[in-house]
C-alpha cells in the first residue's frame, strides 16, 4: 500500500521536471527558430513593427540571392569559399587535435614520469588564457611563417586551442579502463603501442567521439581568432563571413540568417551522426560493474 501511495507522487514530480526541462529547451531554441524563420520569410516581414513571429509566406529568395541565382539582387558574398574553408579547417583541426589528445591522454593516464603532474597542469592552464589575449602573439607568430590568412595557419591555431581539452577528456576516459587489461596484453607479448591500439583505443572510442564533437564545434563556430587571422575569402570561415552582410548604415538580416542556416546544417549533421558516441562518452564510467 505504501508503494501505491508513493508512485503517483513520483509520477507528478517527474512530469513537473519534464515540463521545466521542455520550457528551458524551448527558450534556448527560440533564437535558432527565429533565425530559420527570418531566412525563409519575405523581405517585407523582416523589420516590421510589431514583429511577425510566424512567416505568412515561405520564400527561398534569400538563399537564391546568396548563391547569385536571383537576377534582381546579388548578395556578393562568396558563400562557397566560406563553406569550403570552414569544412577544411574544422575537419583538419579536429583530426589532429583528437589524435594528439588521445595519445597525450593515454600517456598521462598510464605512465609516471618526472614532472608529469606539472606538465599536465600547465597544459590545462593554457585553456585559462582568453582567446583574445592570444590573438596578437598568434598573429605575430603566423606572420613570421607566412601563415596569416591561410587555411593551414588557422587550422594550426585551432589544433593548439583544442588539444588541451582533448588531452584532459581522454585522460579521464583512459583512467576508467582497468590497467589489468594492459598487463594481460604485456604478458601475451604486446608492446606499449600494440596494447594501446588493440586494447585501450577500441574501449576509448566513445570518449574520442565526445572529444571530436567538442573540437569540431569549437573550430566551426569560433569567431575571435578567425576574424583577426583571416582577411580574404581565401581563408575566411562562416562566422567571419557573416560580417559581410553589414554595411555602414544597414544590415541584411535576411541574408545573414540564410547563411546562418547553411552554417547550422553541417554542424547538426555531424552531431546527429556522432551523438551516440557522445552520449556513451559522457556517461562512460558512470556505472561500474
Q: Which residues pair with 58 in a beta bridge?
A: none
Fold of the domain built from segment(s) 79-282: MetI-like fold (1.10.3720)
Residue-level pLDDT at 89: 95
Residue-level pLDDT at 288: 41
Mean pLDDT of the chain: 83
Residue-level pLDDT at 268: 82
Residue-level pLDDT at 287: 42
Q: What is the mean pLDDT of residues 113-130?
A: 82
Angle separating helix axes 205-221 and 253-282, nearest 10 degrees: 160
Report the percentage of the chain scoring pLDDT > 70.
88
pLDDT-derived band at 230 (thresholds 50, 70, 90) equals very high
pLDDT, tens digit, 9 for 90 and up, residues 54-83: 888 888 888 888 877 765 555 567 888 999
Tell me the whole-structure pTM to 2 decimals: 0.81
Please say if the pLDDT value at position 289 is more than 50.
Answer: no
Copy the grid coordinates of residue 231: 582577411
Please say if the pLDDT value at position 275 is more than 70.
Answer: no
CA distance 250 to 234: 26
Phi, psi for residue 167 in degrees, rounded to 5: -60, -45
Domain ranges of the chain: 2-59, 79-282
Amino acid at each position: 500500500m505504501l508503494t501505491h501511495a508513493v508512485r503517483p507522487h513520483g509520477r507528478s514530480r517527474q512530469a513537473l521536471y519534464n515540463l521545466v526541462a521542455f520550457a528551458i529547451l524551448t527558450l534556448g531554441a527560440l533564437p535558432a527558430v527565429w533565425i530559420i524563420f527570418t531566412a525563409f520569410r519575405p523581405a517585407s516581414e523582416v523589420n516590421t513593427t510589431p514583429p511577425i513571429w510566424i512567416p505568412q509566406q515561405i520564400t527561398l529568395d534569400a538563399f537564391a540571392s546568396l548563391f547569385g541565382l536571383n537576377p534582381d539582387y546579388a548578395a556578393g558574398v562568396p558563400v562557397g569559399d566560406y563553406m569550403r574553408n570552414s569544412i577544411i579547417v574544422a575537419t583538419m583541426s579536429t583530426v589532429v587535435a583528437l589524435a594528439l589528445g588521445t595519445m597525450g591522454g593515454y600517456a598521462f593516464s598510464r605512465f609516471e614520469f618526472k614532472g608529469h603532474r606539472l606538465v599536465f597542469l600547465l597544459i590545462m592552464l593554457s585553456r585559462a588564457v582568453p582567446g583574445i589575449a592570444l590573438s596578437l602573439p598568434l598573429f605575430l607568430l603566423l606572420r613570421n611563417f607566412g601563415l596569416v590568412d591561410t587555411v593551414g595557419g588557422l587550422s594550426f591555431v585551432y589544433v593548439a586551442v583544442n588539444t588541451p581539452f582533448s588531452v584532459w577528456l581522454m585522460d579521464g576516459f583512459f583512467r576508467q579502463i582497468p590497467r589489468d587489461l594492459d598487463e594481460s596484453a604485456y604478458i601475451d607479448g604486446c608492446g606499449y603501442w600494440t596494447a594501446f591500439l588493440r586494447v585501450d583505443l577500441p574501449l576509448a572510442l566513445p570518449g574520442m567521439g565526445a572529444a571530436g564533437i567538442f573540437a569540431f564545434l569549437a573550430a566551426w563556430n569560433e569567431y575571435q581568432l578567425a576574424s583577426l587571422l583571416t582577411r580574404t575569402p581565401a581563408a575566411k570561415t562562416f562566422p567571419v563571413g557573416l560580417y559581410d552582410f553589414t554595411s555602414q548604415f544597414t544590415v541584411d538580416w535576411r541574408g545573414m540568417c540564410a547563411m546562418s542556416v547553411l552554417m547550422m546544417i553541417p554542424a547538426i549533421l555531424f552531431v546527429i551522426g556522432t551523438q551516440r558516441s557522445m552520449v556513451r562518452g559522457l556517461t562512460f564510467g558512470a556505472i561500474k560493474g
